[in-house]
């Protein structure tokens, strides 16, 4: 009976928006895949020198947390299939009406990794389809994809391209191939820690970097980026979330002080448009000007650290609600990270404070976060990965808002390789979120998920050298 009530409550809203949202999602995904496929082909006709050192803070690229000397398969195409069994104790992310259910998810993964003297291309695409035991209205196809490309155009100029795309009908941290990343997140990254109650979310983020290496010590990088976050029909009446679309551009100067220490200066401009919500008006545009000073150092062969900080200036345009706009607001931003990587244990801890998007609940907020990740090799080829984080989204930048949202996330994952490249995983994820102030939707919830998954590698095709 409860399932039928849920379906009848939302069927009108879903039919009204489903067609339009699916068309926009399809075109966004086709555009991303087309760009991924044809962009490397154009570059493949050129020749250049070996790629330079990786980009510094602000380029939007974070490296996966790895063990010291960990080997990564290169120059191959892989295809895998998998099945996951999940128990979710709050599928709607609403404490007022907690609904639990079990599901079986079928997924596949296509991986492409190609590294040559002049270029590195890394592309992964993972679709998956969950089947719920009771609430079949959530049985929908999901997509997740990411791309990383570096290419040396000339001995002094190099190009970097990175992008992520996802279309998810819920929160599935154990199914989307979530890796533990090292180093601070980019100031232009989407806020995906604050989780609004929504059935469908489209996220698309991409960036392009052009680096001029003047000498072994000095380099200049031009950065450009685009991001989009859009929410489909909501689970519950009267819920209005802010979809967002933004562009960014920056100039970064890097100077290698010593063999292991680099100094950086980043000038960054961000321009974002928010629409669909109510608290700050149905639409609002914001511009952020930032100046970041950063320093990164490899303190030992297994220990590295990064710190950064600087002022940010926020200006809003529009905002139909009285007091939603502000002529200008200065804020201080900063943070840092420390990474330790040895043969059996890898650890990363990062903290950050900056003006960022509100993940659909708000427009711009002061985001303060702390995150950690640990990987540890165990006996019998088992490995454990532990991650956790705390985030506060504070909307007091605006006169009309005195809201804030606090979120805690955590997870533990045990994995073991099996024969033929297959893998067994057992995961536990927990999410807790609490808001203060008057919000148009209920964003408070506690949620726990347990997952047992089997991934089977079907094919690995070597690409040669």
68 in a structural domain: no
Looking at every residue in the chain, the average pLDDT score rounds to 82
Residue 234: predicted pLDDT? 58
* More reliable by pLDDT, 160 or 58: 160
Nearest-angstrom CA–CA distance, 181 and 374 = 10
Q: What is the pLDDT of residue 338?
A: 95
pLDDT value at 157 more than 90: yes
Give the CATH number of the domain where residue 156 resides.
Answer: 2.40.160
> Residues with Cβ < 8 Å from 116, sequence gap 6 or more?
465
Helix (H, G, I), strand (E, B) or coil at 19: helix
The number of folded domains in the chain is 1
Position 290 scores a pLDDT of 95
Residue 221: count of CB within 10 angstroms of its CB: 22
In a domain, 192, yes or no: yes
**Residues 199-220: what's their mean pLDDT?**
92
Q: How confident is the model at residue 31 (pLDDT cuts 50, 70, 90)?
A: very low
> Read out DSSP for 383-394?
EEEEEEEEEEEE
Question: What is residue 198's predicted lDDT score, i.e. its pLDDT?
Answer: 66
3-state secondary structure of 8: helix
Task: For 376-427, write each residue's pLDDT tens digit.
Answer: 999 989 999 999 999 999 888 776 556 888 999 999 999 999 987 889 999 9
- What percent of the chain shows pLDDT beyond 90? 53
Residue labelled with tokens 């059935």? 199
Task: Transcribe 207-272 into DSSP letters.
Answer: EEEEEEE-SSSEEEEEEEEEEEEEE-S-SSTT----EEEEEEEEEEEEEE-SSSEEEEEEEEEEEE
Q: Is 67 inside any structural domain?
A: no
Query: Does residue 201 contact residue 241 with C-beta atoms inside 8 Å?
Result: no
Percent share of the chain, pLDDT over 70: 79
Task: Please say if the pLDDT value at position 195 is more than 80.
Answer: no
Burial of residue 37 (number of CB atoms within 10 Å: 0-12, 13-18, 19+)? exposed
For the chain, state the CA radius of gyration: 22
Mind listing the pLDDT tens digit for each residue in 87-140?
999 988 888 888 899 999 999 999 999 988 899 999 999 999 999 999 888 899
Give the lowest-confidence range in 57-71, 196-210, 212-226, 239-253. Answer: 57-71
Residue 340 has pLDDT above 90, yes or no: yes
**Which domain range does residue 41 map to?**
2-62+73-462
Among the ranges given (245-249, 319-323, 352-356), the one the predictor scored with the smallest mean pLDDT: 319-323
Alpha carbon distance 163, 154 (integer Å): 23
Q: What's the rounded Cα separation, in Å, for the pair 169 and 105?
A: 13
Residue 308 lies in a domain: yes
Euclidean distance between CA atoms 126 and 147, whole angstroms: 12
Is residue 188's pLDDT more than 50? yes
The model's confidence at residue 46, banded by pLDDT at 50, 70 and 90, is very low
* pLDDT digit string, tens, across residues 211-245: 999 999 999 999 999 999 998 765 454 557 888 99
Give the model's pLDDT for residue 60.
64
Under DSSP, the state recorded for 178 is P
């Amino acid at each position: 009976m409860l399932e039928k009530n849920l379906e009848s409550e939302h069927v009108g809203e879903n039919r009204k928006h489903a067609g339009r949202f699916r068309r926009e999602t399809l075109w966004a995904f086709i555009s991303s895949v087309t760009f991924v496929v044809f962009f490397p082909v154009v570059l493949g006709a050129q020749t250049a020198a070996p790629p330079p050192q990786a980009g510094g803070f602000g380029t939007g690229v974070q490296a996966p947390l790895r063990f010291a000397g960990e080997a990564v398969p290169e120059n191959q195409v892989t295809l895998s299939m998998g099945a996951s069994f999940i128990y979710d104790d709050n599928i709607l992310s609403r404490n007022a009406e907690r609904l639990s259910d079990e599901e079986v998810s079928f997924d596949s993964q296509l991986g492409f990794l190609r590294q040559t003297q002049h270029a590195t291309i890394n592309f992964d695409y993972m679709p998956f389809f969950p089947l719920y035991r009771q609430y079949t209205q959530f049985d929908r196809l999901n997509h997740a994809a990411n791309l990383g490309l570096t290419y040396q155009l000339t001995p002094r100029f190099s190009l970097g391209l990175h992008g992520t795309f996802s279309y998810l009908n819920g929160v599935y941290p154990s199914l989307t191939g979530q890796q533990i990343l090292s180093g601070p997140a980019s100031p232009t990254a989407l806020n995906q820690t604050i989780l609004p109650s929504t059935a469908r979310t489209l996220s698309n983020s991409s960036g392009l970097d052009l680096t001029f290496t003047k000498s072994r010590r000095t380099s200049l990088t031009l950065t450009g980026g685009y991001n989009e976050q859009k929410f489909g029909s909501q689970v519950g009446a009267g819920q209005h979330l802010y979809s967002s679309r933004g562009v960014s551009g920056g100039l970064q100067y890097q100077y290698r002080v010593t063999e292991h220490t680099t100094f950086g200066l980043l000038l960054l401009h961000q321009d974002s448009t928010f629409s669909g919500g109510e608290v700050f008006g149905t639409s609002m545009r914001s511009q952020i000007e930032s100046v970041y000073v950063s320093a990164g150092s490899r303190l030992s062969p297994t220990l590295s650290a990064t710190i950064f900080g600087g002022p940010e200036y926020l200006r809003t345009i529009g905002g139909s609600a009285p007091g939603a706009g502000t002529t200008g607001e200065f804020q201080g931003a900063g943070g840092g990270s420390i990474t330790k990587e040895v043969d059996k244990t890898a650890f990363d801890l990062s903290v950050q404070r900056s003006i960022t998007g509100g993940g659909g609940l708000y427009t711009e907020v002061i985001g303060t976060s702390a995150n950690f990740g640990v990987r540890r090799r165990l006996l019998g080829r088992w490995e454990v990965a532990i991650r956790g984080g705390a985030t506060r989204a504070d909307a007091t930048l605006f006169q009309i808002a005195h809201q804030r949202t606090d979120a805690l996330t955590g997870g533990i994952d045990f994995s073991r390789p099996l024969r033929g490249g297959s893998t067994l995983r057992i995961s536990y994820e927990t999410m807790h979120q609490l808001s203060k102030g008057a919000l148009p939707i209920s964003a408070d919830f506690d949620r726990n998920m347990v997952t047992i998954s089997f991934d089977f590698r079907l094919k690995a095709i070597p690409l040669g050298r």
